[in-house]
Amino acid sequence: MNCKVIDLGIIDYKEAYALQQKYAKEVLDGSDQVLILCEHPTVLTMGRLAKESNVLYSKDKLKEIGVDVLGIDRGGDVTLHAKGQLVAYPILNLANYGKDLRKYLFKLEQVVIDLLSDFDIVANRLSGKTGAWVGDKKIASIGIGVRKWVSIHGLALNVNTDLNHFAMINPCGLNVSMTSVSQVLGRDIEINEVKQVLIDCFCSQFGMKKGQ
């Protein structure tokens, strides 16, 4: 199977969501599956199970610093997106993968674990929690949505994200510390260093090759 990779660079969250919907319809109609890569300006998104109490800044404070809070149709609680975080939105027909959401989440986690291994970072899963973890710190968050077995939303890996932003929330509803690739390595690393590795790990995990 071919996977069309689309790099949107830095893009507003709502614009990226509209594109996800567009490509999801195309995949449902039989087009090649799609992997969208991007970064977002700082925004908080609230999944279907999100609790407002997990947003720690007041509405006035968020307005003052220009951070929107958006309710979205993925699983999970509150998530922060910001520059320096590599976001991947796989638009896949999960009929090709047994229509198994647990298996799909497992594969997304494995993409991150394999990617980080390429940078000599040991990441793991934590029982009962989604995402990828380095020790007891979370480095990647995962939240998905599915319509007619076509996936939207996906994963967010902190590459060189300003981790101070996470003071706004309990990430994914948890009292947890976040980390980043840069913090773990102790050096600056650019998003572009990570993108191709993510593409390779993704295509390997899902049995696809990069298309045009």
CA distance 100 to 103: 5
Q: Are residues 180 and 84 in contact, defined by beta-carbon separation less than 8 angstroms?
A: yes
Q: Which of 3, 172, 201, 203 is catalytic?
A: 172
CA distance 171 to 138: 9
**Does the annotation mark 172 as catalytic?**
yes
Q: Where are the alpha helices (DSSP H) in 66-120?
A: 101-118
Q: What angle do CA 203, 181, 145 make, to 5 degrees?
A: 50
Q: What angle do CA 177, 179, 183 make, to 5 degrees?
A: 140
CA distance 76 to 51: 10
Distances from the Cα of 73 to the Cα of 76, 83, 104, angstroms: 9, 22, 17
Q: State the burial class of residue 66 (Cβ atoms within 10 Å of its Cβ: 0-12, 13-18, 19+).
A: exposed
Q: Are residues 138 and 131 in contact, defined by beta-carbon separation less than 8 angstroms?
A: yes
- List, by residue number, the catalytic residues: 172
